Amino acid sequence: MLNRLFSEIRFRLRALLHRDKLEQELDTELAFHLQKEAEKHMATGASPDEARRRASASFGAVQGTKDDARDARGISLLDSLVQDLRYALRGLRKRPAFTLGVVLTLGLGIGANAAMFGIVDRLFFRPPLGLKDPETAHRVFQHRLVEDRRPRIDRNFNFRRYLDLQRNTRSFESFAAFQTRTLALGEGSATHEAKVTVASASYFRFFEVRPALGRFYGPAEDSVPAGAPVVVLGYDYWKSRYGGRSDVIGRQLRIDRTTFTIVGVAPKGFVGAGDQGVPAAFIPITAYAHAVRGPRYPTVYTWTWMEMLARRKPGITQAAAEQDLTNALLGSWRETIAEQPNWGKLEDLGIRGELGPMHLARGPLAGQDSKVATSVLGVAAIVLLIACANVANLFLSRAFARRREFAMRLALGVTRGRLARQLLTESLVLALIGGAAGLVIAQWGAAALRAAFLDDAASAVIVDPRTLLFTALAVLVTALLTGIVPALQTGRGNVNLTLKGGANEGPHRSRARPLLLVFQTTLSVVLLIGAGLFVRSLSHVRNYRLGYDVAPILYASANPRGYQPTEAEQQTIAESMLETAKRIPGVQYATLTVSVPFWSNEGTGIWVPGVDSVNQKWNFLFNTGSPDYFKTMGTRILRGRAFDERDRAGTGLVLVVGERMAQVLWPGQDALGKCVKIGAENEPCAQVIGIAEEMHLRSLTSERDYSYYIPVAQHTAPPDLQVFVRVTGNPERAIEPLRRELQRLMPGPAYVNVVPLSQLIDPSLRSWKFGTTMFVAFGGLALLLAAIGLYSMIAYDVTQRTRELGVRIALGSSVSRVLRLIVSSGLRLVGAGVVLGVLVALWGAKWMEGFMFQQTARDPVIYGVVAGILLLVAVVAAVVPALRATRIDPNSALRVDG
Amino acid sequence: MIGLFLSKRKGNAVTDHLDLPQGTLDLLILKAVSLGPMHGWAISERLHDVTRATLQIPQGSLYPALHRLERRGWIRAEWGSSDNNRKAKFYELTPSGRKQLASEAKAWARLTNAVGLVLDMS
């Protein structure tokens, strides 16, 4: 059976591909036969002419035989397909406007889907490039209980924990530690910042990749504590900075504060665990840690900064491995507590290990972004549905206009199946062209999308076979969706009636079109409501009081790059930074700082007389500031006073607390004047002199950040080399002067970086911003499509009803009555769609709630506005053709096609 | 999809002026070529001769049948040269064609036997 099938396929392919040759062979074969036959007759004494005549007669019609032989060759189906294709292409070329409209509509729909698929695929499904055996590779997470026994999941660990886990587990082949940081590369004026992955040597063995050049570093170069100063360049960085030259091996590259020797180049596209961008370089984690923290880093549990990967041994189940991991973590924490008793009891910490998937978006710490990405994929699918509905509608109206042509062809003996196939071919061709346009659109839009969702915008969507496959599927679905209704409707109704009647006297009006319109409206309403909700959420986020101003503030920080100033020197540099910053034109206030919102925060234990285990219950963020701290940040003092010039070293210790901190520490009491011991239980009391509004330093939504502020002058450690400045006017313009002036103060290799504070906070707004952009863009697209659909349908109806309307006007119907008649029929459909859409949106509201920020997903204002917009669009879309209808001259209308 | 390919045939059947029962021509051709490679004309002559001219093979049906059998993989064709060095297409039986021939011949024997029994009824 299979053999026969292959033989069939081979034969038919040959038949299709070598048509001319086969035709020729058939001719030769038949000619040979005729000749032999003629020879036979000649042998019996016939004249050559007579022999040929008799041969032909006995053979029958040569042409017929050829047809039959060709049929037996089995090319007629494929032939007719080719015919259909030609016919479709000819038809599309003849109606460029229609074709362009459909291709654009489908292109946008398919393009949006292809682009979003690329994102979601990367976020959730495709393992990082080159990952070996993804089944047994995991990210390591740690669960523990914090304040009020609230669960907390971490993926950052300290180096000593990493050593503990390696030593005390048996279920794992290997662990890897890594972190991607933005570091300064190069020297002098060529210094630039780039992402650098600091990784253990074992990191590379999680992947099945070969270096493009040279080698990766090995365990000997990643030995505790100092490792070796070797670097593997990222492929893109190698290409762009070194022009892809092979003699880079052995060259020196200064990264952060150490000079590294280049030993290799990572393969193209290699991003490692791949969630923090394309690294410019990979350096041994021990070399980096040693350079930053000195030789003690592997012996302490305090510096929590790196992520971990783990690979299970073959044959060990995930549950068993997790148990092993948990046990090792518990052992490690026991040691931690022995060294730092203020962690409390091990049992209360609820330590548990988890082996999560490599994809962060699928793991326990999935961010809002990934949820938004999924929902946007859903939105893209809806847009495609709307596009399909629109195109199906266009096809239907075309099919309606062509029904005389169809009837004629049916009368001439074309089968209905063939007609339907022709229509499907047409929609397939259009969907294919639309798909190609979609890929272009996706390619174009993908860069923006990827930048929003994935940091590594390196790979292009078009070369990605998974996306191509998805696009091909989308094209097929589209072709079916758009083609099936018109195909089903072909030649329904009576051929005779259609042929006899004028083009305007359709015996049946399609019911599919109004239904499609209602469907389209419903989906548009849902999308627009989603868009409205996101817009409102974003504006809430933007207007949300963070407890400080964002727009007018610049953040300037000095990176000493290995230069280690003495404490006194650091003090001097910090003070001169502050003074210099204040002198820059446009700068209003400036302050030194320790904590930087959404960037880095310090916490120091505090002790409060009368309140037990403060540090176990809450986590307090600590900040120091210059006298102008609150003026610079725009943080309001609610009660008491801010610290100022009076609070110096040697005067009484003071602090300002956030309002929530005051509430949790001294509920129902006046916090002013209370005593707080900072850093250790035996420190002297610092007195609460003021209560400030609470700052959101780590999260927009968390109500659990508590912070307090002390004057930098009273802090025991020298101030960090970073300042906030408040600028009047355009802050962008102050960036460069500020950087230049501060840079003059820097000793040795140190350099200054100045960024607007908004740049540090924006990533936290990203999911809302992106949701808003996408919903508004897609919602607008949907609205446009729905409006076009409505307009074309009503305009079409009006042309169909020209005669009826003419009669009405001839009989004395007023213009406004005709107008009302037409507009109300459009409004009825859209009204139905709006009601359905509102119902769907209400039903889906619960699901949307998670994306909202201080915004109910059932906001009646948004629902009302969206309904109003759609009805308005419906009226406009209906009025234009309706007005045209009222101008019908009854005389000519009655004569149309008469 | 496959079904579409296999079942497609035009309405005017290739055998409509043939007195042979449907499918019989195929059996005859298979049998003829089973004796050795043969071109179309030779097949028609051979059938004509062997049946002592009782069976006039409608030559218009011969070639479609040959091509159909070739498509099914029961016979294969090769270009060769005939008696006086003219190019001709020779058909020969494939292994699967041989199997097909055996089973069709058996079916034919059973059919004629059964028909004979009915006709011998008394």
Q: How confident is the model at residue A419 (pLDDT cuts 50, 70, 90)?
A: confident
At A604 the pLDDT is 74
Mean residue pLDDT across chain A = 83
pLDDT of residue A275: 64
Stated pTM of the model = 0.63
pLDDT at A510: 62
pLDDT the model gives residue A313: 94
**What value does the mean pLDDT take over residues A427-453?**
80
List Cβ neighbours of A557 (8 Å cut-off, separation of 6 or more): A596, A720, A721, A722, A723, A752, A753
Structure token digits, residue A138 = 């995991």
Alpha helices in A353-464, H assignment, sequence order: 368-401, 403-411, 416-453
Cβ-based neighbour number of residue B101 at 10 Å: 20
**Residue A8 with chain B: CB contacts under 8 Å:** 5-6, 71-73
Would you say A637 and A692 are in contact if contact means Cβ atoms under 8 Å apart? Answer: yes
At A258-296, the pLDDT tens digits run 899 999 999 988 888 866 667 999 999 999 999 888 888
pLDDT number for residue B12: 39
Bridge-based pairing of strands A192-199 and A553-559 is unpaired
The pLDDT tens digits of the residues spanning A545-558 come to: 888 898 899 999 88
Measured CA to CA, the distance from residue A399 to residue A404 in angstroms comes to 9
From A61, A72, A74, residue closest to B14, measured CB to CB: A72
Counts for chain B of helices (H) and strands (E), in that order = 5, 3
Q: Is the pLDDT of residue A724 over 50?
A: yes
The alpha carbon of residue B84 is apart from the nearest alpha carbon of chain A, in Å, by 11
Q: Residues of chain A with pLDDT > 90: what percent? A: 27
Cα separation, A423 vs A408, in Å, equals 16
Verify whether the Cβ–Cβ distance A25 to B60 is below 8 Å.
no
Chain A residue whose CA is closest to B81: A32
Q: ipTM for the complex?
A: 0.73
- The predicted-structure confidence for A7-17, as pLDDT tens digits, reads as follows 666 766 676 66
| pLDDT tens per residue, range A368-385 | 777 777 777 888 888 888
B62 min Cα distance to partner chain A (Å) = 9
Q: Is A292 exposed, middle or buried (0-12, 13-18, 19+ CB in 10 A)?
A: middle
| Residue for token pair 């140190």 | A750
Instruction: Kindly list the domain boundaries of chain A, sorted by start residue.
Output: 2-74, 134-358, 368-542+764-895, 553-761
Domains of chain B by range and CATH?
19-119 (1.10.10.10)
**What tens digit of pLDDT does each residue of A847-861 get?**
888 777 778 888 899
Tens-digit pLDDT profile for residues A588-615: 999 998 888 877 777 777 888 888 877 7
Contact: A33, B59; criterion CB under 8 Å: yes
* pLDDT confidence of residue A498: 61
User: What is the percent of chain B with per-residue pLDDT over 70, rounded to a whole number?
Assistant: 73
Q: Which residue has the higher pLDDT, A304 or B23?
A: A304
Which residue is it, tokens 């029958």? A60
Which residues, in sequence order, are bridge partners of residue A304? A158
pLDDT at A461 over 50: no
For position B7, what pLDDT does the model report? 33
Per residue in B101-122, pLDDT (tens digit) is 998 889 888 888 888 888 887 6
At residue B18, the pLDDT reads 42
Instruction: Name the residue among A28, A33, A72 with its Cβ closest to that of B64.
Output: A72
User: pLDDT value at position A672?
Assistant: 92
In this complex, which of A4, A9, A32 lies closest to B88 when CB atoms are compared? Answer: A32
The predicted structure's pLDDT at residue B5: 34
Higher model confidence: residue A711 or residue A64?
A711
Residue with the bigger pLDDT between A445 and A35: it is A35
How many Cβ contacts (< 8 angstroms) between chains A and B? 93
A238: confidence class by pLDDT, cuts 50, 70, 90: very high
Close Cβ partners of A374 (under 8 Å, ≥ 6 residues apart): A120, A124
Q: Please tell me the predicted confidence (pLDDT) of residue B1.
A: 31
Checking if the pLDDT of A459 tops 60, the result is no
CB A217 within 8 A of CB A284: yes
Q: Residue A188: left if φ>0, alpha if ψ -120 to 50, beta else—which one? A: left
Residue of A nearest to B56 (CA): A58
Sort out which chain A residues have CB atoms less than 8 A from B67's CB and list them. 69, 72-73
Per-residue model confidence as pLDDT tens digits over A92-119:
888 787 788 888 888 888 888 888 887 7
The three-point CA angle A382-A387-A388 to 5° equals 95
Smallest Cβ–Cβ distance between A8 and the set B60, B63, B71 belongs to B71
| Angle between helices A465-489 and A96-120 in degrees, nearest 10 | 140
* Res A64 pLDDT > 70: no
Give CA–CA dist A621/A706, Å, rounded: 6
Higher-pLDDT residue of A869 and A489 is A869
